[in-house]
Amino acid sequence: MKVLVINGPNLNMLGIREPGIYGNDTLNDLIAEIRRTADRLGAEVDFFQNNSEGAIIDAIHGAFGKFDALIINPGAYTHYSYAIRDAIESVKLPCIEVHISNIHKREEFRHKSVTAPVCTGQIAGVGKIGYSLALEALVNGFEN
């Protein structure tokens, strides 16, 4: 299985931005952990991070025909990007939305995800391990 892991705005600042919420690990630390999980599962992973909505949409579109599934943390776009939502829906790939923090326990504007309804599932609030859990679910054939 070949999976594209997409991280949206501000995730390049992991380890610096609000460590009380997101922890001290950097994006590179997160990538290394996901790679270890992929190796254990016999999966291939590729990574994309961008702060721009259009670049994220292009990455989703580019995954069509090249990847078997997506893992996405849309960052703040989770709550208002219908364009990213539509891109996820258009490629018809299994997709799990991941959030390091529990978006449902934070500010009210973070409680609603406009992207989750077109995803296979959502994992939130378990820290960076959520990405590995998402990868395990996809490799093991989880379908909602």
State the Cα–Cα distance between residues 110 and 120, nearest whole angstrom.
20
Q: How many CA atoms lie within 13 A of 48 on its CB side?
A: 22
- In the sheet with 44-49, reading across from the earlier edge strand, the strands are 44-49, 2-7, 69-73, 95-99, 121-124
- 3-state SS, residue 118: helix
Q: Classify residue 84 as exposed, middle or buried by CB count within 10 Å of its CB (0-12, 13-18, 19+).
A: buried
| Active-site annotation holder among 22, 61, 79, 82 | 22
**DSSP E strand boundaries for the chain:** 2-7, 44-49, 69-73, 95-99, 121-124
Q: What does DSSP say about strands 2-7 and 95-99: parallel, antiparallel, or unpaired? A: unpaired
Give the active site residue among 61, 99, 111, 131. 99
99 is catalytic: yes
Could you give the residue numbers annotated as active site? 22, 99
